[in-house]
Every structure is written in structure tokens, then in C-alpha cells.
Amino acid sequence: MLPGTLVSEKTGYHHGDLRAHLVAAVRELVEEKGFDGFSIAEACRRAGVSSAAPYKHFKDKQEILVAVAVDGLFRLGDRMEAEAAKVADDGLARVTAMGRAYVGFARDEPGVFRLTFGQVDTEDKREMMRAVGCDTFGILQRAVADCLATTQDDPVCQFRSYMLWSFVHGHASLSMDGKAEISEAPLEEDRLLAEISRRVLLG
Amino acid sequence: MLPGTLVSEKTGYHHGDLRAHLVAAVRELVEEKGFDGFSIAEACRRAGVSSAAPYKHFKDKQEILVAVAVDGLFRLGDRMEAEAAKVADDGLARVTAMGRAYVGFARDEPGVFRLTFGQVDTEDKREMMRAVGCDTFGILQRAVADCLATTQDDPVCQFRSYMLWSFVHGHASLSMDGKAEISEAPLEEDRLLAEISRRVLLG
DNA sequence: CTTTCAAAGTTAGCGCCTCTAACATATGTT
DNA sequence: AACATATGTTAGAGGCGCTAACTTTGAAAG
């Protein structure tokens, strides 16, 4: 079965697709209770299995969280591409749209966002997150290369892509839980994102 | 006694200054094990008291973490001011120096940094963090106002201060655990920070 | 100097959590 | 049909957060 298709109901003893259901349950719980403060046990109750079941699919709690984080990273990438596809064929506008998608994701799923960009303990999982993160960052890099009329491996493109990423990631993190309101400036988000893109890409 | 002076040894039954010792122990543990994955119980062992002792000083675990976060925010502010004081009387250079201090703090104390800018559950504690965060952000705002030859309450100053904060916060977060290396560009940090200040303040 | 009392420790223990071991049941291959 | 494997189960060890009830201590009040 394709991963991520939550179709099968529990067929008596076996669950059907516990792995995906668990990831979904944990995702919900991470949003509801924060990514500390939730428990695997509760996700099990929600998925209708015993609290030992997850360990047939995951080594430990950390591995489940990584699965949720990877899933989140993919959805973030999809959202960026979708938002960029909506706007006209203008490089700058597309980059701005990606920023909007990024911030929107952080605001819609703060728990997953924090998980995705939080720490990972073990080395192999860090490597996995790095690989998937690389793909997602590549989406932005392509748009920037397009905008600057250069290639993705151009150091200038990479430098500016990273600047954009920093900017948007920072704003997303700060605005997520109201820290942006420390600055009393009335923050029109669209203006901010457009300004950011302009200053980085055309400066 | 001044807060933060960890002098008194345990005098038989009473500890002397358990509150400060606990905060220090938790700070260490948050660095060692991450801010999930550590336990109050372990901090107690390290401070040489029973696992029930903390609850004479703090309502719950969350309140201890807030204390560590607030402490971290103060130290971040101090570090920013110290780094800025080192450089010549040039507004732009000072802002850059503050960025360097911010990123340095994140790299030296990633656990505390994540804690400080992570979520807080209860409303009153969120309010406390907001107040202290406001003070710290004010340090940057003053430097920016100086640089733009305007006042702190000027909307332009606030807008640009926030842009700087986003930028630096984003870079700090991403570089902390190697996510910056996703971009393969050789990142000379000083150049990056200088570029950021320039683009935001002079753009 | 004694008495008293609040502050700040202690032990005991409940309920919940993570994770393991041993056992049970379904599925699919030969 | 028989077996192997994957994926469930229950039982339970060990750890943690937090509370209740008790104890020690230092210091203020008489």
C-alpha cells in the first residue's frame, strides 16, 4: 500500500496501517499539546492499539517524531510549490509567495514546525533530515536562480537563497507565538515579505 | 542575597540557595540532553537534594524552564550590549556586532536558546517572557534608531529592527544544528551579518 | 533565653510514561 | 496444510512529575 493512505479500518487483530495512523495521531497531538507534553501512549489510545504496538514499527519515541518531522517537511515543500504556482510568472513574486507559504505553514502547524526545525539527537536521523531539508531548500534555490537569471550552483544564488531562508525562517519562528508583537510596528505581512525579497534579491 | 551567586554550600538540612542552584543545574542539563530528554529528578541529584525539593520553589517543571529561559534572555541581552560596546562608535558596525552576539549565544547555548524562543504554555508566563523579550529587543532598537538618526518609536525604526531580528534569529536557528550547511555556499559569517545589516538599514 | 512558626528540607507513594519480554494471531509462501 | 514472519497483545520493570504528610532549621516575638 502507498504510504500515507489512511484507508483501512482495524480488522480485528491487525490494524492495517498502524505506522501511518500513528504518525497522523502524533501530528495531531503535537499540535494540541506541544511536542513535549504529548505522549506516545495517548497516540496509541487514539489509534486504538496497545501502548506497546508502536515499537513494532519504530525503535523509540524519537524515531516517531522524526517521521512526523519528515512528513512535515514534505508538506512544507508541497505548500511552497503550490503557492508559487498560483502567482504570475514573475521570479520575485514567486519567491515572495514561497515565503508566504513558509510562514503560513509555521502558523497553521506550529507544533510540527518546531519539531521539524528542532533538534535531532542521533546522527543517522540528522542525516535523513538534512537530505529531505536539502530537497525542500532546493525548491527555493530554483526560484532564486530563475529570478537572478543564473544557475542553482552559482555561489551568489546560494548565498542569497540562504539569506532569504534565514529571514523567512526567523519571521516565521518569531511570529508563530506572538513574539513578533514585541515590535509594536503594525506588521503587514505581505509588505514585510515583499520587502525582504526585494532587499535580498535586488539589493 | 543577590540572585545568581552560587556560594553557599549545603548546611546539613537546608541547602542555602536551592532555587539558583536548580536553575543552574537545569541549564547544564538542557545543554547536555536537550530540553526534552532531561529530567527535574536528575537536576535534583546534581544539586544534591530530593526530587520533591524543587516544588518548594517552583510550581511545576514548566515554571523551572521559564526561569531558565528568562535567565538566558538576560544573558543574551548582556552579551549583545557587551559585543556592541567593543566596536567603534559606528551604528552599522554596532548592529552587526549585536547580530554576532546573538548568533554566538545560539551556538554556545543551543539548548537554552531553543528554550528561550520555544513555546510557553500558560498565559502569565508568556506575558513575563514578552516583557523581558521586549527589553532585549529594545537594545537592538536603540542601536537601529541611532544608526538611522531617528527615534525608537519611529515606525521605520521598528520595522527595520524587526527585519534585522528576523534575519539574525533565522540564521541563528538554522546554523545552530548544521541546517545552514544545507546551503553549500561557504558561509563566512561576518560577511553574512554585515551584508544583512547593510541591506536592511541602508536599502 | 525560650517559644513559636514559617520556610525549606525529607520520605512515601500515586499515576502515568517509555520500552522490553514473552506470548498470540493473522498473512502469505512453499 | 505447515510454517515463517509480521504485527498485534498483556505484563511488568524502571523512571518521572507531583502531592501529602512529616521533620528540621533559623529567626522573630515575647
| A183 and A101 assigned to the same domain | yes
CA of B11 to C1' of C9 (A): 11
For B17-28, letters b (16+ CB in 10 Å) and e give: bbebbbbbbbbe
| A186: Cα within 13 Å, side-chain hemisphere | 0
| A48 and A102 assigned to the same domain | no
Nucleic strand C near CB of residue B46 (< 7 Å): no
| A36 and A54 assigned to the same domain | yes
| A115 and A136 assigned to the same domain | yes
Chain B residues closer than 8 Å to A120 by CB: 177
| B3 and B91 assigned to the same domain | no
The pLDDT value given to residue B35: 86
CA distances (Å), origin A158, targets A20, A74, A143, B51, B180: 35, 21, 11, 50, 11
- Of the residues B42, B58, B74, which one is the last residue of a structural domain? B58
Query: How many separate domains does chain A show?
Result: 2
B23 contacts B38 by C-beta, under 8 angstroms:
no
| A50 and A67 assigned to the same domain | no
Q: What pLDDT digit, counting tens, does each position of A144-169 carry?
A: 999 999 999 999 999 999 999 999 99
The pLDDT value given to residue B119: 84
B148 contacts B161 by C-beta, under 8 angstroms:
no
| A38 and A84 assigned to the same domain | no
Q: DSSP labels for B100-134?
A: HHHHHHHHH-HHHHHHHTS---SHHHHHHHHHHHH
> How high is the mean pLDDT of chain A?
90
Nucleic strand C near CB of residue A55 (< 7 Å): yes
Per-residue confidence band for A188, with pLDDT thresholds at 50, 70 and 90? confident
Residues of chain B with pLDDT under 70: 1-13, 184-187
Average pLDDT over residues A183-202: 87
Q: Does the structure show a pLDDT above 80 at A177?
A: no
Domain harbouring B26, CATH code: 1.10.10.60
Record: contact A166-B171, CB cut-off 8 A: yes
Task: Write out the residue range of the structural domain in which residue B149 sits.
Answer: 62-202
| B104 and B22 assigned to the same domain | no
Alpha-carbon distance B115 to B71, whole Å?
11
- Of the residues A58, A75, A94, which one is the last residue of a structural domain? A58
Nucleic strand D near CB of residue B14 (< 7 Å): yes
| B69 and B97 assigned to the same domain | yes
Q: What pLDDT digit, counting tens, does each position of A39-53 carry?
A: 999 999 999 999 999
Per-residue confidence band for A10, with pLDDT thresholds at 50, 70 and 90? low
Domain harbouring B148, CATH code: 1.10.357.10
| B198 and B152 assigned to the same domain | yes
| A82 and A1 assigned to the same domain | no
| B95 and B10 assigned to the same domain | no
Nearest chain B residue to A115, by CA: B118
Mention every residue, 6+ apart, whose C-beta is less than 8 A from residue A55. none
| pTM more than 0.85 | yes
